[in-house]
Chains A and B, each alone.
Chain A
């Protein structure tokens, strides 16, 4: 085999390898679409939660989920499109602890006056099966108004992506995982 034909052979081999890899990529299973999420209005439970905190928690959650983009769509509580959509996870939240701190106290004595909220979050499939359960806390210790605690909670909650669920979103046999953040 002369040098010219050897180069030709090498070229043909590399081209076929390239074609094979392209074929392999195209035949690999497509990435499944992420589920949509429906955020239910925050329930105050037995805690005396001011209305502005309830609304701020809800709106911050929606904004953070939209910003993270981990879910196909973010639906609001009561949105009629949720019924039409398939593969929707509903997020139910109940406030379990609330400490209304003081911004002035935080400013002046630094170590006190923290505002903190603990919210019990349940991610449920359409059939009602609990996919994930977590207690998530939001707090403001130093700088910012009291409502900043809701933003802190929402940022932590939005880190729970579809990958966080142990099994498929629509699966009724999904076992709930419980933990704290």
Chain B
């Protein structure tokens, strides 16, 4: 009896440990960040805020009203870039331009850096789609790495490519001025 118990104890412990570690890995693989959907995802409006999540081999954007998912293996290209945008944007930002004594210009100078994540993917029918997201600085590169690890492809494998060079040049131009 004692021998039988000891015979089954080891495999059970191994199985338990394996299941715990896989659950842990799945939790670690889930990456989530606040983002703005600029354009491209079907069923989502342009320029809507939400959460961009990578989990279970899929990239999901969830807004307050809706969500859209893309299978990561369908992603043909992932590109990141950097830019900056007004802190006060939208209709309020437009109206703020009319502020007297150069107040509008002063508000325009208040800018925040953003990262841009661009993806190209194919739907089940072979149709090519593109989607653009903006997010806080340094988050796009982490998302790109996570997407590549899960099977996505990229035309710009290195951190600094043609696109990011162009973007960083324009950003540098803005900072100089």
What is the interface of chain A, defined by CB distance below 8 A to chain B? Answer: 41, 48, 50-52, 54-56, 58-60, 63, 75-81, 100, 102-105, 107-108, 143, 145-147
Contact = CB atoms under 8 A, between A and B. Distances in A.
A41 B97 CA distance: 36
Contacts of A108: 105, 108-109, 177
B109 to A, nearest CB: 7
B115 to A, nearest CB: 11
B93 to A, nearest CB: 9
A29 B177 CA distance: 63
B163 A51 contact: yes
Contacts of A55: 39-40, 118, 120, 130-132
B72 interface: no
A51 B125 contact: no
Contacts of B167: 50
Contacts of A79: 125-127
Nearest to A44: B162
A77 B122 CA distance: 9
Contacts of B109: 104, 107-108
Contacts of A76: 123, 127-129
Contacts of B97: 107, 143
28 contacts: A48-B166, A50-B81, A50-B163, A50-B167, A51-B81, A51-B156, A52-B38, A55-B39, A55-B40, A55-B132, A58-B130, A59-B39, A59-B130, A76-B129, A78-B126, A78-B127, A100-B166, A100-B169, A100-B170, A104-B174, A104-B177, A105-B174, A105-B177, A107-B97, A107-B109, A108-B108, A108-B109, A143-B97
A165 B85 CA distance: 40
A150 to B, nearest CB: 9
Contacts of B83: 146
Given A76-B128, A102-B173, 18 more contacts: A41-B128, A50-B79, A50-B163, A51-B77, A51-B163, A52-B118, A54-B130, A56-B38, A58-B128, A59-B130, A78-B127, A79-B125, A103-B84, A104-B109, A107-B97, A108-B109, A146-B170, A147-B132
Contacts of A105: 174, 177
B113 interface: no
Query: Closest 7 A-B residue pairs measured CB to CB?
Result: A55-B130, A107-B108, A76-B127, A51-B79, A79-B127, A77-B128, A78-B126
Interface string B67-93: 000000000010101011110000000
Contacts of A145: 85
A108 B174 CA distance: 11
B135 interface: no
Interface of B: 38-40, 77, 79, 81, 83-86, 94, 97, 105, 108-109, 111, 116, 118, 120, 122-123, 125-132, 155-156, 162-163, 166-167, 169-170, 173-174, 177
Contacts of B94: 143
B86 to A, nearest CB: 7
Nearest to A58: B130
Nearest to A57: B130
A80 B77 CA distance: 20
A76 B76 CA distance: 15
A100 B82 CA distance: 13
